[in-house]
A and B are shown apart, each in its own frame.
Chain A
Amino acid sequence: MLVVTTEGIAGYRIEKVLGHTFGVVVRSRGLGGNITASFRSLFGGEIKEYTEMIEDARKAAIDRMIQNAHAMGANAIIMMRFDSGEIGQTMSEIVAYGTAVIAEKE
């Protein structure tokens, strides 16, 4: 499954546009991660616990977006974007979305 952030794919012709596809995930750190992160924030620098949470969320969002596109019969996703938000004070939401297409090699 080709996933690109551009409108077209070099060397490919877009045969059919199937519609939008997305993958969404909401994650939060556990109590231990929040305590460790709050200790780390006292000294500054990267908060690895939250980086790990967002990285896991990014992977899960992409995986779900690709599975949705696959279920639609697409073999590529163009114009892929990420969006993020917060729910409450401890939960993060990541959305990966794009346009599912059928692309043929030129």
Chain B
Amino acid sequence: MAYFLSFYFGIQLMIVIAAVAGTLWYRRRRLAQRSNQPPRGFQRTDEIFIDPTTGIKQQVWFNPRTGERFYQTIES
């Protein structure tokens, strides 16, 4: 019985650890993916906002040809 319980709770703990580790990995990857150079053809707009989760100030760029937007980190 003790073996079964330790196995059961061990598996549960491993699932929680894997889920939290996956979240941390995702957040780190999300931060790393922030490229700071707007691609060619983008124009700077007056729109600036502070990302509420990271506190990083971001400048918005706009591509008038495609309608795409790009978020550039301007201050950490």
Contacts and interface: CB of A to CB of B under 8 A. Distances in A.
Interface of A: 1, 3, 30-33, 35-36, 48-49, 51-52, 55, 59, 62-63, 66-67, 69-71
Contact of A32 (B26, B47, B52, B53): B26
DSSP majority for the A interface?
helix
Contacts of B18: 32
Interface in B46-66: 47, 51-53, 62, 64, 66
A1 B67 contact: yes
Given A48-B53, A51-B52, A67 B67 contact: yes
Contact of A35 (B19, B62, B66): B19
